[in-house]
Amino acid sequence: GAGVSQSPRYKVTKRGQDVALRCDPISGHVSLYWYRQALGQGPEFLTYFNYEAQQDKSGLPNDRFSAERPEGSISTLTIQRTEQRDSAMYRCASSSLLTSGDNYEQYFGPGTRLTVT
Amino acid sequence: RKEVEQDPGPFNVPEGATVAFNCTYSNSASQSFFWYRQDCRKEPKLLMSVYSSGNEDGRFTAQLNRASQYISLLIRDSKLSDSATYLCVVWVSYNTDKLIFGTGTRLQVFP
């Protein structure tokens, strides 16, 4: 079946512009996570949703970053007034389980490479 | 101090070698542990969960030492296709439910 998809795959934007990154999780997956990954580093947690409810946004760097998942499926990560330091790979992941246990797995999307010039 | 620490490597080993990666975590509330594999320019994928009693999946063996807050991954009989970055991951469920990833250890297997 279809995996996690993200769009756009690449986004180049000018400093000060707003960007919206989309994540389409695996159908039926209840939890959805957003990460940021710098080159040579592991994914860094940003925020997550169970169904449509945002549970933890402690990883969002500042108030220019926001995320929503209004219908419990597709999610959008929005970055307002982008800055060069926002340049990174943004990944989302989804899971069929709400919490860890046997067989817990997060399935990652291919990511959106954001470049702010 | 990072919540999950790994030696970034790279580890360069010949085919057939045995290689071990280690990882330490700082949050004693961590409840579940995993190894993910990430190929160059690809997304991370679950390699295996890590259980308290240790577990094996083919050539891969994972160990957990809760007292020392230490996780290990052993790869026996390395293949060229094992070349990748191996990410140590812990699950934190205190006031949240999230995965914390280490920086990853890069493995390069050569012929």
Q: pLDDT over 90 for what percent of chain B?
A: 85
Contact predicate A16/A82, CB 8 Å: yes
Q: Is B53 on the interface with A (CB under 8 A)?
A: no
- Confidence label for A102 from pLDDT (cuts 50, 70 and 90): low
A74, amino acid identity: I
Given CB atoms, is B96 within the 8 Å cutoff of chain A?
yes
Q: Please answer yes or no on whether B43 and A44 come within 8 Å at the CB atom.
A: no
The beta-carbon neighbor of B31 closest among A98, A100, A110 is A100
Helical ranges in A1-117 per DSSP H: none
- B14-43 pLDDT per residue, tens: 999 999 999 999 988 788 999 999 999 999
Predicted confidence (pLDDT) per residue in A36-95, tens digit: 999 999 999 999 999 999 999 999 999 999 999 999 999 999 999 999 999 999 999 999
Instruction: Name which of B33, B35, B98 to mutate to probe chain A: the one with the most chain A Cβ atoms within 10 A of its Cβ.
Output: B98
Would an 8 Å CB–CB cutoff place A43 in contact with chain B?
Answer: yes
Burial category of A13 from C-beta neighbours within 10 Å (exposed 0-12, middle 13-18, buried 19 and up): middle
